[in-house]
Structure 1
Amino acid sequence: MITGELKNKIDNLWDVFASGGLVNPLEVIEQITYLMFIHDLDDVDNTRAKESAMLGLPYKSMFSDQVEIGERTIDGNQLKWSVFRDMPAAKMYTVMQEWVFPFIKKLHGDKNSAYSKYMDDAIFKLPTPLMLSKVVDSLDEIYKLMADEKGMDIRGDVYEYLLSKIASAGRNGQFRTPRHIIRMMVELMDPKPDDAICDPACGTSGFLVSAGAYLKENYKEEIFFDQEKKDHYMNHMFFGYDMDRTMLRIGAMNMMTHGIENPYIEYKDSLSDQNMDENKYSLILANPPFKGSLDYDSVKPDLLKVCKTKKTELLFLALFLRMLKVGGRCACIVPDGVLFGSSKAHKDIRKQLVEENRLEAVISMPSGVFKPYAGVSTGILVFTKTGHGGTDNVWFYDMQADGLSLDDKRSPVNENDIPDIIERFRNRDKETERARTEKSFFVPKKEIKENNYDLSINKYKEIEYIPVEYPPTEEILANIRGLEKEIQENMDELEKLLKK
C-alpha cells in the first residue's frame, strides 16, 4: 500500500499531467508506463550486463554501437534514460520524440509479438518540453524513493496505485486485484517450469507477472540453465487475453519489463467464438469480470451447454474447464453469489466442479479485500480438471484478515491469515481432524451434494456459542435503583457546592 511521501510524489506527477491538459486516467497511465518502461530498459540492461560479467558470459547491450532510427543512424548510448535525462528540456524532448519513442516501438524484432502488436499504435502525447522535463524529474524522485523501500515489492504497489486512478469500472465490472492476493493464489498453485499459464481476463497481466516472478525465485537454475526451458519461459509459457487495447499494451510492457521477452498477450473476447482454446493450459489464474451480463448470441455455444446463463462469472468458470488440459489446475476469484446462488445455472456449474472434476478448496475472503474500489464479497475456488470426478472432500478456509484494514484506507495491520492459508493448504493431509468451529476444515462431497452443491462456508461452519448467565431480574432492577440513588445523592452534593 502506497503511503506518505511516495504517495504524494505520485499524486504530484498526476497533477503535472493534468496541468498539461492530459486528464484521461488511462492516457496518463499509458504515458507514465511508456516512461517507466524506458527507465527500466536502462536499469535492466545494466543489470544483465553485470550478471553476464559475473558469469563470464558475453552480453551485447541493446544500446551498444550505432542504432538505426528510420533513415538515421545514431549513438545508442543517447537513448539511455541516464543520459538523456541530463539534457536541456528542448533537446531531451526532441530525443524522446524522434529517437527514443520510435526505438521502443520497434524494439522487438518479431512483428507478431505481443509487444510489437500493441506498440504499433502507441502515441507519445506529452505536449511540451517543459512538461516532459517535469515528468522525468518526478519519475526520478519516485524511483529514488522506491529504491529506499527495501524488501518490498514497491514497484508493484506503485503500479497498483496508478491503476487505482482509473475510477470508472469497465462495462463488465473490471477492477484491480490486490497484489498480495495474486501472490497468495500463485503460491497456492505453485507453478512449475513446464506449465502453460493463462489468464483469460488478464488486464495489466498481474497474475502472469506474479507467476513469472515466482518461477524465477523458486526454479531459477532449472529454467535459466536449460536452453529448452528458458525458451519455454520466454516464448511459450504465458498467455493472456483482454478486450481493452490500452490494458493489453500496458500488460505487454509489464511482462517485458519483468524479463518475459515474448508473452502471448492477445486481443480477444474470451467468452466468444473468437476463443478456440480447448484442452490447452496446465494452469489458469484469473479474476474474471463480475456483474457482467452478455447476450446469448455473443457467447460461444459450448459454454451455454455447461450452464445457460448471461452472467459472466458463471460463463468464465465453464470457460476455464474447457481451456484446461485434463490434469490442469485453476485458482480463480468469484463473487460470493457463485458459491450459493440458487438459479439452475449456479447449481449446474457447481455440480460440474464437484461431480465431473476435482474441487479442492474454497477460500472465503472478507468483503474489504477489494476496497476502496469495490466492497464485493468474494471467494477463491481451487480445482483440477479431471473430466471424470475425483472430489472426495473439499477444504474450506474462512479468511478474516489479509494484513490490511478492511476499510477504504487499507492500512497495514498485524492480523494476516495469508501465511496460514498457504501453510495449511500445502499440508492438507494434517487438516482432516479439524473441527468445523476452526478457520479451516474439510467437508465431504456427500454433504455438499445434499446441500444443492452450496459452497458458501457459512453453510458448513459451526459457531461455538458460549452460554452467558445473567443475574435474576430482581437483582438487576435493585442494582439500577441503587445507581439511581447514588446519582441523585451526587447531584444533591453538587447543588450544595454551587450554592456556596
Structure 2
Amino acid sequence: MPPTTPAEAKRLVDKLWAYANVLRDDGVGTIDYTEQLTYLLFLKMAHERAILPFADEAPIVPDEFSWQRLLDAKGEALELEYNRILTELGKQPGTLGVIFRKAQNRIQDPAKLSRLVHDLIDKESWLATGVDIKGDAYESLLAKGAEDVKSGAGQYFTPRALIDAIVDCIRPTIDDTIVDPAAGTAGFLLAAHAKVEEDDPASFTPPQREKLRSSLVHGVELVDGTARLAAMNLLLHGAGDPRGDSLIEVKDSLIADPGIRWSVVLSNPPFGRKSSITVIGADGRESRDDIAIERPDFVVTTSNKQLNFLQHIATILDTPGRAAVVLPDNVLFEGGAGETLRRRMLRDFDLHTMLRLPTGLFYANGVKANVLFFDKKPARADGGAWTEKLWVYDFRTNVHFTLRQNPLTRAHLDDFVDAFAPGRPRDERVESERFRAFGYDELVARDKANLDLTWLRDESLENLDELPAPEVIAREIVDDLTAALAEFEAVAAALEAAEPSSDD
C-alpha cells in the first residue's frame, strides 16, 4: 500500500481530535485523552502488526488482552473488558508493563468508549499510513492545547523537522549506541533508529540486526505518561521486545552516574532553569537546598537543570563520542557555574558547532534555544584544548516561525545541514553570511567565556512596526532577569566562599 499523503494523514489526526471536544464535556482533558489514545492506538496497531501476512514474530500483546477482545465486547461489557486489559497489561514484565503502568480508563461512558473503539480507531489502518501517526497525533494535540500552559505538555515535544536535521548531522550507524537522558516522546530515538535503518538492514549481520531491535537506542524519562508514549512508539517501530526490558527507563537521569557510556547522545532537556534538587559537584560547594545529590563526576554545583544535564551528558558520552543537545540561551552567558562549565567544555571537548534557533519552534512562548554539537576525545598529550574553532550558524536573526501559520519544516534547515557538512572534514567548511567560525583563544578571552555570539543586523530593531509580539518581549525580559539573578547568585556564592570562618 502506498504511503498516505500529508492531507490524508491530517484527516486521520483531525478525526481523532474532533472527538476530544466530545469527551471534554465528560471531564476528560487533552492530556487524559492523549493517554487513552496511547492505549487504544497501541492495541490496534499491535493487532495490525500481528495479522500482517509476513509477520513471523510473537504477538506484541498476548491474545487474552488483544484489540479483538475490545471489538467483541458491547455496552457495559466493553468498559469492563477495557478496564481488565489495562490492569492486566500493567502487571506484565518489560516494555508492556512500562506502557500500561498505572493505566486507568478515563472514559466512563460506555457508548462514547464504543464509538472511540469501533468508529474512530478500528475503521482505519494505522500502520499502513506510511507516517508516524502517533507523533503527528501528539503534535496536533499540543498545537490545539498549546495555550493550556498548566498542562506543560509542550515541554516533552521537540519539532520533528529539527530532530531530523540534527540526526542528519550526527549520522548514527549500527556501530553506535544511542541515548537520550531526557527522552520525552522518544523523537530523537525514533529518528536515530530510522536513520540507521536507512543503511539497509538486510546487509547487517545477525548480531547487528539483533542490536537494531533490542539495544541500539535507550532513553530515560522522568514522567510516567511520557515514558509510556515513548516506549509505545519505539516498540511499534520495531525497537524493543514487549516482554524484554524496556528501552525507556522511568527515573531521574540526574540522580547518579549510570556507569554506562554511549557513543551518541541526542537530547532536549526540559525547559526551566531551577530544580528542587541541587547537585553537588567536584567543586564541593555546600548546598542550602533540602535535597542534595553528590555527583563527583560533575564540574560544578548548581540547581540549573540545563547545566546539570549538560554535565550529565558529558559524563555518559563515551570516548570517542558525539553529542547534540538543545539548550536555552542562559547556558551560553550565565556567570558562575555557567562560566566554569563553558570553559571546561571548550578545553576538554571539541565544541565544534552551534545552531542558534529562532523563536516560535517550541510550545513555550518566546523560548530562545540553541543546539550544541560536541565530541568527546581522549585527553590531548600536549595538554591543549580540544576546541579549535566553534562554528556558529545564526538561524535566529530575521527568521520567524509560528506553530500554526508558519511552522518549521525540514527544508528550512537544508542550508544548515549543508554547511555542517556531515561526514566531511571540518576544515572543508566554508563561512557564509549566517555561518562563522570563532577560534578558541577568541572565545576564552570573551567576558565569562560568553558564547552568546551574534553578528547579523536585526531588521526588527530598525522598524518599530515590526517589533516582536508582546509575549515574546515579555519572555525575553524574564530571560534577562533570570540571567541577572544568576549573576547575583554567583557573586553571593563567591563572597560566602571568601568569608573567613568563625574559627579563624
Could you say if the C-alpha distance between residues 450 and 251 of structure 1 is closer, same or farther in structure 2, counting changes exceeding 3 Å?
same
What is the aligned partner in structure 2 of residue 333 from structure 1? 326
What is the aligned partner in structure 2 of residue 30 from structure 1? 35
Please list every run of 5 or more consecutive structure 2 residues that lacks an aligned counterpart in the other structure. 1-5, 279-288, 380-384, 460-504
Structure 1 segment 5-404 matched on structure 2, within 5 A: 5-6=11-12, 8-23=14-29, 25-47=30-52, 49-50=53-54, 59=56, 62=59, 67=63, 79-80=66-67, 85=71, 88-89=74-75, 92-93=78-79, 95-98=81-84, 101=86, 104-105=89-90, 111=93, 113-137=94-118, 139-140=120-121, 143=124, 153-164=132-143, 165=145, 167-168=148-149, 174-223=155-204, 226-262=205-241, 263-272=246-255, 275-278=256-259, 280-294=261-275, 295-296=277-278, 298-302=291-295, 305-341=298-334, 343-370=335-362, 372-386=363-377, 388=379, 389-400=385-396
Whether the aligned pair in 1 keeps the contact of 2:83 and 2:105 (CA below 8 Å) is yes
Whether the aligned pair in 2 keeps the contact of 1:397 and 1:441 (CA below 8 Å) is yes
- State the AA in 1 paired with 2:197: K
Could you say if the C-alpha distance between residues 184 and 307 of structure 1 is closer, same or farther in structure 2, counting changes exceeding 3 Å?
same
Separation (CA, whole Å) in 2 of partners of 1:385 and 1:142:
50
Whether the aligned pair in 2 keeps the contact of 1:401 and 1:415 (CA below 8 Å) is no
- State the AA in 2 paired with 1:30: E
- State the AA in 2 paired with 1:240: G
Whether the aligned pair in 2 keeps the contact of 1:330 and 1:382 (CA below 8 Å) is yes
What is the aligned partner in structure 1 of residue 401 from structure 2? 406
What is the aligned partner in structure 1 of residue 453 from structure 2? 457
Deviations 1:428-458 (A, max 9, x none): 64775744x6121222212112224322230
Q: CA deviation at 1:170?
A: 7.1
SS in 1 for 2:254: coil
Whether the aligned pair in 1 keeps the contact of 2:201 and 2:209 (CA below 8 Å) is no
Deviations 1:77-124 (A, max 9, x none): xx445x8548755565455444x5467556x6xx2x243245243223
Could you say if the C-alpha distance between residues 240 and 278 of structure 1 is closer, same or farther in structure 2, counting changes exceeding 3 Å?
same
- State the AA in 2 paired with 1:179: R
Answer 1 or 2: higher relative contact order, Cα 8 Å, separation at least 6. Answer: 2
Could you say if the C-alpha distance between residues 63 and 309 of structure 1 is closer, same or farther in structure 2, counting changes exceeding 3 Å?
closer
Separation (CA, whole Å) in 2 of partners of 1:39 and 1:208:
23
Q: CA deviation at 1:22?
A: 2.1
What is the aligned partner in structure 2 of residue 478 from structure 1? none
Whether the aligned pair in 1 keeps the contact of 2:221 and 2:227 (CA below 8 Å) is yes
Separation (CA, whole Å) in 1 of partners of 2:414 and 2:238:
27
Is 1:446 the equivalent of 2:451?
no
- State the AA in 2 paired with 1:256: L
Deviations 1:281-320 (A, max 9, x none): 1111111123231342545433685122211111111111
Is 1:421 the equivalent of 2:416?
yes
What is the aligned partner in structure 1 of residue 481 from structure 2? none
Q: CA deviation at 1:365?
A: 0.7
- State the AA in 2 paired with 1:159: Y
Could you say if the C-alpha distance between residues 15 and 417 of structure 1 is closer, same or farther in structure 2, counting changes exceeding 3 Å?
closer
Deviations 1:181-216 (A, max 9, x none): 111111111111122211111122221122112222
Separation (CA, whole Å) in 2 of partners of 1:464 and 1:128:
55
What is the aligned partner in structure 2 of residue 493 from structure 1? none
Separation (CA, whole Å) in 2 of partners of 1:398 and 1:446:
21
Q: Give the superposed CA RMSD.
A: 3.6
Separation (CA, whole Å) in 2 of partners of 1:203 and 1:354:
28
- State the AA in 2 paired with 1:441: R
Using the size of structure 1 for normalisation, the TM-score is 0.74
Corresponding pairs, count: 428
Whether the aligned pair in 2 keeps the contact of 1:241 and 1:269 (CA below 8 Å) is yes
Q: CA deviation at 1:228?
A: 1.3
Q: Say which one has the larger Rg.
A: 1
- State the AA in 2 paired with 1:18: R
Could you say if the C-alpha distance between residues 308 and 104 of structure 1 is closer, same or farther in structure 2, counting changes exceeding 3 Å?
closer
Separation (CA, whole Å) in 1 of partners of 2:110 and 2:151:
33
Using the size of structure 2 for normalisation, the TM-score is 0.74
Could you say if the C-alpha distance between residues 356 and 172 of structure 1 is closer, same or farther in structure 2, counting changes exceeding 3 Å?
farther
What percent of counterpart residues are identical? Answer: 25
- State the AA in 2 paired with 1:328: G
Please list every run of 5 or more consecutive structure 1 residues that lacks an aligned counterpart in the other structure. 53-58, 70-78, 466-500
Separation (CA, whole Å) in 1 of partners of 2:297 and 2:405:
39
